[in-house]
Amino acid sequence: MGELFGTDGVRGVANEYPMTAEMALNIGRATAHLFKRKGHTPRIIIGKDTRISGYMLENALVSGICSMGVNALLVGPLPTPGIAFTTNSMRADAGIVISASHNPFQDNGIKIFSHEGLKLPDEKELEIEKLIFSNKMHTLHPSANELGKASRIDDARGRYIVFLKNTFPKELTLEGTKIVLDCAYGATYRVAPDTFFELGADVISLFDEPNGENINANCGSQHPETLAEEVIKNKADVGFAFDGDGDRCIAVDENGVVLTGDQIMAICAKEMKKEGTLNNNLVVCTVMSNIGLGISLKKLGIEQEATKVGDRYVLEEMQAKGSVIGGEESGHIIFLNHHTTGDGIITALQVLAAMKKSQRPLSELAQVMKVFPQKLINVDVKSKPELSSIPEVQRVIKGVEGRLGDKGRVLVRYSGTQNMCRVMVEGPSDEETEKYCRQIVDVIRKKLC
């Protein structure tokens, strides 16, 4: 990763470096220059989630793009995967998303898609950084009569909804199915309810009135507690929680039990194998996936590959190995036979398809995987030195690993988007898992906080 771009674009506190209007202007200028070519006026799609800082960053990006003789097409609030779809569908040269995903409203971010709807590779992001820090972009701008224009795409949401509905089997219907949706006050607040309603479902929407400052606040994929309560209260068949930009999905069964992304992958992989659509008999996950996923897939006769954390690495491995399903425990799941990136609404639709085809409730489908006790603690840190360079940290990790043996595992890593160290321990019981995780956290706090 470079100075600006992390594992998921540029991210930080809005109106503070690097998420300033000035930096957004320069990212717009550099991105526009990168995609310019002779005899062609590029078009760049710009979309955002519901954060109040999105207005500031959107206008700065537009100014930068148009100043380089490139046209900007604005779609307004739309899930990240919807912007990837629109970019590809409209044959635009690139797409830019203004979002900090599941982070609180104070944060924001910028991530860029290629014309194929794929996140830019590292080398392209580094080209953008190089342009920004060269301080030479003022020498690259065109003359006044060659400036770009900005316009809005009014039907982007409708186009995306049609695309989403086409990923659900045409022979199936959601009529008679009661679904509760947690829209996280985010980018799915209009798209998700409309999609499931148009497929015939009885939809109950939660957290669907964003005000610019409530995105992800005690709701969404990271806080599904209210969703679970509402599923039980309304006697619904299933519930789904999305994150702020709509690329994650967490499911809740009819009994109010929360399912992880790992369980969703196991359910969908089993159904795909049965249908003969599980290309190369392979599921790609990350090192953060629960031990139970690997055990479940092995019993199903399905191969598993694990990558480092980050959906871009999952996608790269999927493309390299010819897999069509992969994702993260967080609920960021990629169905490559439907989309180029993780899409929370598509994930929900695939779960519903499995329920309809099997004519079984989600609680029964979830029995395909046993979730091993897991404790994850996020520790805010001042800096991110190599963990291998801190003897005390290595000592406590090795000590816990020795006591767990083959009955669990330890994973300690830095967040790619925040100043945070994630400590994850899996073990044979909740008590042991909690105890060992806190032992490591105590040392991390002493050395890095």
So which residues are the catalytic ones?
Answer: 101
Alpha carbon of 432 to those of 337, 373, 408, 429, 445: distances in Å?
40, 9, 10, 5, 20
DSSP 72-134: EEEEEE--HHHHHHHHHHTT-SEEEEE--TTS-TTEEEEEEEETTS-BPPHHHHHHHHHHHHH
Distance CA 117, CA 138 (A): 29
Closest to 252 measured CA to CA, from 197, 306, 302, 206: 206
10 contacts: CB under 8 Å, gap ≥ 6: 4, 18, 19, 23, 27, 109, 110, 111
- The distance from CA 314 to its chain's CA centroid, rounded to whole angstroms, is 12
Q: 348 in helix, strand or coil?
A: helix
How far is residue 122's CA from residue 136's CA, in Å, rounded to a whole number?
A: 21
**Angstrom distance (rounded) from CA 81 to CA 100:** 14
Joined tokens for residue 115: 């014309």
In the chain the first and final C-alpha atoms are separated, in Å, by 23
Say how many residues make up the chain.
449
**239: part of which helix (H) or strand (E)?**
strand 238-242
Q: Closest by alpha carbon to 342, among 411, 301, 287, 284?
A: 284
Q: What's the one-letter identity of residue 286?
A: T
- Count Cβ atoms below 10 Å from residue 405 Cβ, excluding itself: 10
Phi and psi (nearest 5°) for 448? -120, -10
**What DSSP string runs through 149-217?**
-EEE-TTHHHHHHHHHHTTS-TT---TT-EEEEE-TTSTTTTHHHHHHHHTT-EEEEES----SS-TTT
Helix (H) / strand (E) element for 431: namely: helix 430-448
Compute the radius of gyration of the chain from its Cα atoms.
22
